[in-house]
Amino acid sequence: MAWVSISLVLEAARAEALSEALLEAGANSVDVEFGELLARLEALVESDTDPARLVRTAAEAAGMPPPTFALRPVENEDWVRRSQSQFGPIRISGRLWIVPSWHTPPDPEAIVVRLDPGLAFGTGSHVSTRLVLRYLEQQLRAGERVLDYGCGSGILAIVAGKLGAGEIAATDIDPQALATTLANAAGNGVVLSAVAPESLPSGAFDLVLANILADPLIALEPLLAARTRTGGRITLAGILESQAAEVAAAYASDFDAGVFAIEEGWALVEGKRK
């Protein structure tokens, strides 16, 4: 099989989001090299892939203009092994790990989520995902009814299940994300529903999670507020630190909302339903 490398340079703060989006859009692997301000990405694709379309689709999903890129043919080798070598166990906290299926969990006493990179966003590598996972470990109460809105790989819903949530619903507009979430949940022994937004179970939730991007989160406020019970909480991520105040303000009419945590230029906004 023939392969093509897509190389591009962009702001370091946006590199992880674009890397995940490229994998979701169909890249076979993505390698990231970080500098102080910039990062270089190299995505490997099959030779019959439309590179411009793939980069455009990924950039749109990551909330940025399509970057310029360069192409070069590459020699054939074991690209599955190369792709797997880029993804090792990710330590989220002292007791929570995200571990690909081809690795042995580093800590036998830890809470382990088995998750392989694939066609849906959310491997635990992006800082916005890690912010939500740490929030869940610190703040989730046993038995809570949880909604993961924009579930991607299902990582947030699965970790909620591992940490003792009650009923768990996951939703996404992408059918591939729903299928991936169900498969990942089954592989981790977590029971949940994963359906399109219009098919969600009725009623409000104790905790609503949404790791998307700032503009969609602002637009979704009425819908997410309606799905959060009075006194319940909402946790929003995929937000740059510079966007956090705007997102919190958009939720202020229905929530006591504010910034809960900031890491590497990304923010997590939490709100309590009024």
* pTM of the full structure: 0.71
Residue 98 bridge partners (DSSP): 90, 113
List the alpha helices (DSSP H) in 7-100. 12-25, 51-61, 79-85
CA atoms of 198 and 65, how far apart (whole Å): 30
Q: Quick check: 87 and 114 in contact, CB under 8 A? A: no
Domain 3-85 has CATH 3.30.70.120: yes
* Tens digits of pLDDT across the chain (274 residues): 578 889 899 888 888 889 888 888 888 778 787 777 888 888 888 888 899 999 999 999 889 999 999 888 876 554 555 555 556 677 777 778 777 777 677 767 778 777 766 544 555 567 888 899 999 999 999 999 999 999 988 899 999 999 999 999 999 988 888 998 999 899 899 999 999 999 999 999 999 999 988 888 999 999 999 999 999 999 999 888 889 999 999 999 999 999 999 988 889 999 999 9
Class of the domain covering 130-273:
alpha beta
CA atoms of 28 and 190, how far apart (whole Å): 28
Q: If you search the block for the tokens 């790990």, which residue do you land on?
A: 97
Which residue type sits at 252?
A: A
CA atoms of 96 and 204, how far apart (whole Å): 28
Q: If you search the block for the tokens 């990582």, which residue do you land on?
A: 155
Residue 7 bridge partners (DSSP): 42, 70
Q: If you search the block for the tokens 């694709």, which residue do you land on?
A: 45
User: Can you give the residue ranges of every domain in the chain?
Assistant: 3-85, 130-273
Residues recorded for the chain: 274
Q: Do domains 3-85 and 130-273 have the same CATH topology?
A: no
What does each C-alpha distance from 40 to 19, 46, 69, 75, 187 come to in angstroms?
Answer: 10, 20, 10, 20, 33
List the alpha helices (DSSP H) in the chain. 12-25, 51-61, 79-85, 127-139, 155-162, 175-187, 214-219, 221-226, 244-250
What does each C-alpha distance from 2 to 53, 79, 218 come to in angstroms?
Answer: 19, 11, 43
Structure tokens at 4: 């093509």
